[in-house]
Structure 1
């Protein structure tokens, strides 16, 4: 699997409103449900749903009653894969601070689109083939939103027939380069 595909998959897996906040806070809350819920200010049902998804994905595991501080209260801990994804989440969080455009990972496909552009997938169809799963409408929506946030530039190509090429903005490119280096460094 080439590096662009690996980074697209990692950033896709970290997408969503709660994935990164849960990964970054599960250890500091002692892995306990209520302190985690309170730290994130999340509804219990939403946290429960996200923890189930994360358990299924192998990012966290629910500890057995014998491993817990209190046998009746659920506790979670990061798996090896979860620790890796936590490091990736830290990289994305740091990059988002530098970009200063809000919580980009909160919406699915923002980061995968940015990674695709960093790896010079400039045409809509090449981005679509790399990302594989999202609908054309989602990709188009994300490209337009990222363009409105001044992270992506559109370039109209008129020949042989009109189309847009998408490029990272001059301000976003060095930050994405650093993001790429830091995420790639996690594989070593």
Structure 2
């Protein structure tokens, strides 16, 4: 699984990194209310990010309102790209579809030219045909992907990125996890 696909495996990973970067850390309850995420989803997300070495519990003592969670050095490198991506998705009104599991890997996989379904699927190890189909339909409905059926025989279906999707893909490319 690519590092980008791993990072967006959970829907809230990127927004949590962005919020921790904006606030130079954060408290659990503030993240729940600020992001509108359920407590259980945030628990899973924090555990995932801690296991990947991107977030850590604040080891310090002090004021009771000090941040509970901080970005590690590796997480801090993703902070600014995460903020840029979440802001861009909000600007395009595509946050919901843009942060689904396969959306960003598909948009980066499309690149600068239209691709066939099978070609796109082969470039995304770990995805299933059903997941790819559903993600492409959602992205098309959001205006981020175009679907064209050729007049060749046999007809082929090509998927391409729209100009806003190209901007999202460029922002997502900056979000590659450190190896």
Q: Give the TM-score normalised by the residue count of structure 2.
A: 0.78
Matches within 5 A, 1:146-165: 146-165=139-158
Cα–Cα, structure 1 residues 101 and 57, in superposed 2: closer, same or farther, change >3 Å?
same
Q: Give the TM-score normalised by the residue count of structure 1.
A: 0.75
CA RMSD, Structure 1 to Structure 2 (Å): 3.3
Unaligned runs of 5+ in 1: none
SS at match of 1:107: coil
Residue 93 of structure 1 is matched in structure 2 by 86
Please say if 1:46 is aligned against 2:38.
Answer: no
Unaligned runs of 5+ in 2: none
Q: In 1, are the aligned partners of 2:107 and 2:169 still within 8 Å (CA)?
A: no
SS at match of 1:61: strand
Q: CA deviation at 1:178?
A: 5.3
Structure 1 segments of 4 or more deviating over 6 A?
none
Please say if 1:36 is aligned against 2:21.
Answer: no
Residues 53-101 of structure 1, C-alpha deviations (whole Å, 9 max, x = no match): 110111111233xx23369x98221012211222221231233134333
Cα–Cα, structure 1 residues 112 and 75, in superposed 2: closer, same or farther, change >3 Å?
same
Q: In 2, are the aligned partners of 1:154 and 1:166 still within 8 Å (CA)?
A: yes
